[in-house]
A and B are shown apart, each in its own frame.
Chain A
Amino acid sequence: MKRAFHPQARTAYLFLLPNVAGFLLFIAAPAVMAVLLGFTDWDGFNPIRWVGLDNYKRLLTDESFHISLVNTLTYTALSCLLVICASIALALLVNRKTRGITVFRAAYFFPHIASFIAVAVIWQAIFHPTQGPINMFLKLFTDSPPMWLASSDWAMTSLIIVTVWKMAGYYMVLFLAGLQGIPEELYEAAKIDGAGVVRRFWRVTLPLLSPVTFLVVITCIINLFKSFDLIYVMTAGGPGRATSVLVYDIYKQAFAFNKFGYASAEAIVLLAIVLLITFVQYRGEKKWVNY
């Protein structure tokens, strides 16, 4: 326990501060109120009635909640992994002093600043099952290309593709900063020792990027757990419930069914999962993060 407050750990706290502060202010504070609501059957209007653990008991048997939970975990895990791979790859690509490189950096960063709603509408057209550019191309090779957003099997994949496209640019900037903080001498020394490009990446770049990676993993997972706008616009949780994630289900319970208490209980479960994952990562940090 003492080591958690080691002077070096202070740096880590500092790194975590922006994220944690935002987390406390925008998630934890409303969540504390939600904790209380989670034990009630509030419908948004009538006097609040305490129902104890009823909401949580119902969550155990609620099929929509189970589907949403599994979808959230799948979506978060796959998107996070791919976002990190893609953003490291992009960062490596643009980490050079070629003329006009800033144009590419800006281009890769652009999806991050574009509105999610506008992006979603454009991607819907791109995924069009018959007239969309993707399937027009795929039809050259196969007669039955995937139906993308209109297929339970592919809708999640489609969302992940858009998510990676949207988020990779932002994390690329973080990784780029990390890359530029790696001293050139280390690469020279490795070169002299006979390390090739691949080995230099695995032995020098990746370990020295680990503090950035740690930050990225945590923020990325939290962001993905909260995903709503993209799903709301692109699939509305469909087809069926194939892309219904927790936040979408919470929205549905509260705004379509008036079950604010139940939705709050669901939100608490979401919060607990995010906290747990963050805690586990934090405990595992010293095993793989080099400072």
Chain B
Amino acid sequence: MKKWLAGAMGIVLTGTLLSGCGGNAQEEAASGGNAAETEAASTGNAAKEPVTIKFMHWSDTASESMYADLVAAFEAHNPDVNVELVKSDIKTYSEKLTITLTGSSDVDAFAFKDLKEYYRLASIGRVVQLDDQAAGAGDALNGVSHLFDTLKIDGKLYGLPFRNDGWALFYNKNLFDAAGVAYPKDDMTWEAYVALAKQLTQGEGQGKTWGSFMPDWSQTWYGYGQQLGKTLFDEDLAPYLRGLELRKELTDSGAQPTVAENQATNAHYRPVFLAGKTAMVNTGTWFPGMLEQDKKDGKLSFDWGMTYVPHPEGVAKGTSMSTAVVHSVSATSKHKEEAFKWLSFISGDEGQTIVAKYQTPASKADGVKQAFESNFSEGIDMAPIFNMTPVPERNLQAGLPELETIVTEEGNRALLGEITPDEAIASIADRRSKELP
């Protein structure tokens, strides 16, 4: 009995060990053999055989038809390249992307949900460095090249900007009119914003109207420091303290739902704003596109306005965090050239004009701007989108993913009232020194 069991265990263990080693060996062989395969692929191109590239992106209602339009336009110009879209749900997109890339997948290019993810995979060389190709593309990328510097990691570019969003303040004109309060000014400090939010908060319980609503993201408080031109990697984190204090004052005073309440109901600013439950929303410049859609769908029953996001005392008006949606080429792609062709098309003028119909384009080209503007109803001031002074929302440096986790965890503890903002900032500095690579 004993021998039988030991024998069986032995076989199982050896089997798994072998399969483990075998798997690794295969993977190494695959990555080693890439150069040869790429070469083979490019010789194939010379003969103009149609190539199919796989492009992975997250899907939501807006992006699905946008990418479909882009593929149609691209294929019309490039009959020798077909684009196959690989879609994934937005909530688990980053994990899905990691798994797809870790397994031996043949995805050639993909979108990054945020710059933290971009940094995470670019910093380990999972995507192709694009400096030379971007420079070689000439005028084609002029509309988006102003963003290249914000995407460089150690001076190297790993992706092409596709969409670019800043932050803006959105308000429900009807609620302001009803309260007899003047609409928010375009040059407002955060202190003034908090005061205004308190002034517009009305009612109790189910009938309550909030003065302000923001996503639970930590940017909503650390943005204060970013607007001052600081980074969370700085030795001195004191500039961030005031942002956290003001963010906490909003919820503590009841002018904005608490993080605890939002988490319990998975609350999102879009339905809250549409229901007329909040006078102001502070979020990204993708929001007006959603609101126009809601207007077409008959879900929007009031007039809304948009203005510059509030700023710390002494900072110029219109200073806003800004962040891009980036596309990159997989380092293991067998069709890197075609993949880049596709990415530069959708980041180029023609592609960006299509993007502008659905979301905030990255391009500053005039035609693209006009296309974007034509989506919106008369009377909406587009200055917060076109004239903002961008500061980076994330600083692309080693340790970014870890730091962001620390900032979120400690910031949340402060917002939930478990520690003071002072303690949270101290704790971030302390953990940062211990946990960053």
Contacts and interface: CB of A to CB of B under 8 A. Distances in A.
Interface string A246-258: 0000001001111
A28 B405 CA distance: 30
Given A47-B31, A257-B401, A32 B265 contact: no
29 contacts: A10-B1, A28-B12, A33-B16, A33-B19, A33-B23, A36-B20, A44-B98, A45-B102, A45-B331, A46-B124, A47-B31, A125-B264, A127-B264, A128-B264, A131-B206, A147-B416, A149-B263, A150-B258, A150-B260, A150-B264, A151-B418, A152-B416, A238-B409, A239-B412, A241-B409, A255-B94, A255-B98, A256-B405, A258-B401
Interface in B246-287: 258-261, 263-266
B261 A46 contact: no
Given A129-B260, A150-B260, A124 B413 contact: no
A29 B416 CA distance: 42
Interface in A112-156: 121, 124-125, 127-132, 147, 149-152
B364 interface: no
A180 B309 CA distance: 68
Smallest CB-CB A-B distances: 6 pairs: A150-B260, A33-B20, A128-B264, A240-B413, A32-B16, A29-B16
A240 B98 contact: no
Given A63-B435, A130-B261, A240 B418 contact: yes
A83 to B, nearest CB: 25
A64 interface: yes
Interface of B: 1-2, 12-13, 16-17, 19-21, 23-24, 28, 31, 94-95, 98, 101-102, 120-121, 124-126, 206, 258-261, 263-266, 331, 401-402, 405, 409-410, 412-413, 416, 418, 431, 434-435
The CB with the most chain A CB atoms within 10 A, among B101, B125, B409, B410, is that of B409
A89 interface: no
Given A33-B16, A255-B95, A240 B401 contact: no
Contacts of A127: 264
B16 A28 contact: yes
Nearest to A5: B1
- What bracket does the count of chain A residues touching chain B fall in? 35 or more
Given A149-B263, A150-B259, A239-B413, A32 B13 contact: yes
A106 interface: no
Contact of B435 (A28, A64, A237, A238): A64
B218 to A, nearest CB: 12
A131 B20 CA distance: 51
A24 interface: yes
A78 interface: no
B20 A129 contact: no
A245 to B, nearest CB: 15
Contacts of B2: 5
A151 B263 CA distance: 12
